[in-house]
């Protein structure tokens, strides 16, 4: 499989970010106690847990992986904000945005850009084949 430029950047940046998020998620799950709020589970399962699989899936299906990464980043931020006391919400949400939601959204946008470039490239190839057949 020959990688396009956006795919190379996705691998170089996305895999380490995904591995870091996977590490954070595994640590969080083992710290959870009985009676942990559902919002904590939503924040972990919609955020750092899905980053690595979606980066890998994004190599073949960039549009869908990008959409799910962006939705996951929004869900993670929302779940973090509703599951936190009012005094701590600002600091915690900003921390989660810097470490989890922000990188997920950036990777999602990058995948959507890659999907667009991929579709433009496929259209150009199809036009070239059509023009060659007309000759």
- Inter-CA distances, 38 with 41, 82, 98, 124, Å: 5, 10, 22, 48
Q: Which of 34-48, 51-65, 97-111 has the lowest mean pLDDT?
A: 34-48
Mean pLDDT of 83-108: 86
Cβ atoms 41, 15 nearer than 8 A: no
Alpha carbon distance 133, 45 (integer Å): 50
The residues spanned by each domain of the chain are: 5-134
Alpha carbon distance 16, 30 (integer Å): 21
Q: Is pLDDT of 87 > 90?
A: no
Q: What is the DSSP letter of 60?
A: T
Local confidence band at 131 (pLDDT 50, 70, 90 cut-offs): low
Q: What is the pTM of this model?
A: 0.82
């Amino acid at each position: 499989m020959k990688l396009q430029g956006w795919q190379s950047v996705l691998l170089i940046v996305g895999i380490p970010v995904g591995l870091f998020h996977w590490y954070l998620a595994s640590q969080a799950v083992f710290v959870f106690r009985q009676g942990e709020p559902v919002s904590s589970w939503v924040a972990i399962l919609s955020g750092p847990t899905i980053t690595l699989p979606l980066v890998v899936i994004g190599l073949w299906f960039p549009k869908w992986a990008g959409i799910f990464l962006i939705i996951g980043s929004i869900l993670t931020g929302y779940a973090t904000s509703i599951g936190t006391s009012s005094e701590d919400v600002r600091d915690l949400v900003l921390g989660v945005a810097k470490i989890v939601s922000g990188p997920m959204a950036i990777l999602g946008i990058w995948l959507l850009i890659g999907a667009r470039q991929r579709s433009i490239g496929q259209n150009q190839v199809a036009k070239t084949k059509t023009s060659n057949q007309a000759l």
